[in-house]
Structure 1
Amino acid sequence: MTLLKSEIDLLRSVPIFAGIEPARLKLIAFTSDSIAYRAGQVICRQGQPGDAAYVLVDGEADVSVATEAGDYLVATLRSGDVVGEISILCDTPRTATVTARTSLTALRVRKESFLQLLKQFPEIAAEVMRGLAERLTHTNEELVRARNLAASRGGEA
């Protein structure tokens, strides 16, 4: 099997690319790099410039945010999840550190290519927005839990 064919098959297995025709998958394969990470290896670090988005193809990664009390785990990513898009879309530094929990394979899509994909493929843009909305909902739930916990501890003093 050729490298390009295997990358296209890899893309087809990722939910955000599943409905895209093979000719377009070939274009995506040309504009992305398949990268393997070992467990514990940092994929992107909070505060650094965002130069690419990553689509997890296989494996898991932890998303953590540095706080005064130490690193706080905010999410675990799995196959099909996209990460790094916030810094690209908002042109801001990375908002979290992403570390491979297991060995994993990810597609690294450079900033310009990622933005072009969103323009050319509305179905990918819709999936990315859906993922962002789910993460926002999860974050809001975490904030409510933290606020309730803080309020209950304050009431005990």
Structure 2
Amino acid sequence: MSLNDEVMLLRQVPYFGRIDACKLKLLAFTSSRVCYEPGQTIFHQGDASEAAYVVLRGTADIVATAPGGEMIIGEASAGTMIGEMCLVSDAPRVSTVRATSVLELLRIPRDSFLRLIADNPRMSFEFSRALAETIRDKAAGLARQLARRPERIV
């Protein structure tokens, strides 16, 4: 995949859809490709966060561990961004991501991303807007899941 192909893929990711192609090219250039086999873990819940990933090819499960065990809370496929919260937060990972097929990712280091948005207020705004929409959508999905549970949460 060429740098221009990576830029085209980044443009399809909601976080980067409204960002200038020149900025996306710089982001793609400072990123690296990584590959995982089925069953391999990309990162674990509780790990330190140093990078986010865009799925170029393949699928992965997003898993949360709770006192009752593991629960698959989502799936990532081509065009999905995973670990995006780490780009703006030093908090540990909130989930584990495990490859379910051969998985090719674009690894975006936090320090490269932060340098890029520091020089580009519009990019910072667009990323923040998309992140807020993601948080809203995830909260709504969690509320729907909880509403289907037979026990009442107080």
**Under TM normalisation by the shorter chain, which class is it?**
0.7 to 0.9
**SS class of match (2:78):** coil
C-alpha deviation, 1:149, in angstroms: 1.6
Structure 2: which 5+ runs fail to align? none
2:8 counterpart letter in structure 1: R
Q: Could you say which residue in structure 1 is the equivalent of 2:9?
A: 13
1:34 correspondence with 2:30: no
Deviations 1:74-123 (A, max 9, x none): 11112222111213312111111111122121111111012223344535
- Partner Cα distance (1:100, 1:79) in 2: 12
TM-score normalized by the length of structure 1: 0.76
Q: Could you say which residue in structure 2 is the equivalent of 1:73?
A: 72
1:46 correspondence with 2:45: yes
- Partner Cα distance (1:124, 1:75) in 2: 26
Q: Could you say which residue in structure 2 is the equivalent of 1:98?
A: 97
- Partner Cα distance (1:101, 1:115) in 2: 30
Larger Rg: 1
Q: Could you say which residue in structure 2 is the equivalent of 1:141?
A: 141
On the 8 A contact 1:82/1:131 being kept in 2, the answer is no
Deviations 1:111-143 (A, max 9, x none): 101222334453575256425523542343334
**Higher mean displacement: 65-74 or 108-117:** 108-117
- Partner Cα distance (2:101, 2:84) in 1: 21
On the 8 A contact 1:53/1:109 being kept in 2, the answer is yes
Aligned CA distance change for structure 1 residues 11 and 58 (closer, same or farther; 3 Å) = farther
| Runs ≥4 residues deviating over 6 A | none
**SS class of match (2:2):** helix
Aligned CA distance change for structure 1 residues 120 and 91 (closer, same or farther; 3 Å) = same
**SS class of match (1:138):** helix
* TM-align CA RMSD: 2.6
TM-score normalized by the length of structure 2: 0.77
Q: By percentage of residues, which structure has more helix?
A: 1
Identity of aligned residues (%): 27
